[in-house]
Every structure is written in structure tokens, then in C-alpha cells.
Structure 1
């Protein structure tokens, strides 16, 4: 169960910050594997359409391409992101991602 969540947007940079806190009664590795598995993403993200890892830079840093289903009257969108997931000494995980371009990640129109 998620006990709290927090979202903040910085209009000057267009950056969105999202944080959730809670207890999930499963081993951390199983939760991470579930969240990364393409087969399950649509079950917890209603706008997710499809995605793939474009390049694995290191065990915790990737380029990723994904498509989302936009609301009616707006065309679907796709994104190429550079994403890193890091574990802090406290055991907390921090994910950082930003939009970018990649030669193997052409824009879908």
C-alpha cells in the first residue's frame, strides 16, 4: 500500500518530480523485476502502450524508448529517455530520467 505520494512540477524547467512512500510486502528485487517487465507495465500504468531498452549503458543506466496512449483528441506520444536507478546507503532507490535522443531511438510520428 502506498501511504503517501507527492508530485511537484517546476514550470521554469518543465521537470516533474514524483515520490511515493509505502510498504510492499515482497522482496525488493521481485518488485523491481515486476516494474521493469514489459509484460506487466500495462497492468499498473494505464497510458503505457509499448517500450523497449535501446541501450544498456551499465547495470543501472539505460536508454529507453516508450510510447504512451494520450487522451482523446491528442495524438499518442513517444519518448526516448536516459534513465539511471541508484541505491543509496539507506537502501532507498532513486530513479533519475530525462528526455534525450539516441541514434537507435527514432521519433515515432
Structure 2
């Protein structure tokens, strides 16, 4: 992960946020698939709410930093893409859980 060292601090933080969101979401998803406890669905939905709010805050931080600092457009766009990549993954997990829960 040497490329992270080259990023501005806010973009580096956003990359780590995206990775943490992905790992925690995947852990929640796999826990439900393995244990099939309905309580895990509630925990997962709670996590999604927290993750969405946190990721929106980080997205706003990226945009503010991009407007106020001299960060490259490419770096900012790539960081936003990495952060938003969790949306289709979460949607896929949601569809799979709906199939298993029904």
C-alpha cells in the first residue's frame, strides 16, 4: 500500500475509511451467512446506517479539501470512487441476504 503514502492526509483517511467499511460490512455479512441469526440482520442494518452517515461525512471532507487545497483532480476523483465502491457491494450483500432470509 505504498500508494497511500503519496496521497494527501484526507484522501489517505478516506481510503482507510473505505477499507474499514468494506471489512466490517463483509464481516457482518459473513456472520449472518454462517450463523443465520436474525439478530445479526438488525446489527447489520444498524451498521449500515452508521457507515452511511460516516462515509457521507468523509465524502464532504474530501470535497472541502479538494476545494480548499491544491489536490489533483485525479487523486480526488479516485478517492471518491474508492469510497463509493462500497455502495454496490452493500447492495449485493443486501440482495443475497434477502434471498437467504425468505
Q: Under TM normalisation by the shorter chain, which class is it?
A: under 0.3
Q: TM-score, normalised by structure 1?
A: 0.25
Higher relative contact order (CA 8 A, sep 6+): 2
Question: Which structure shows the higher helix fraction?
Answer: 2
Question: Which structure shows the higher strand fraction?
Answer: 1
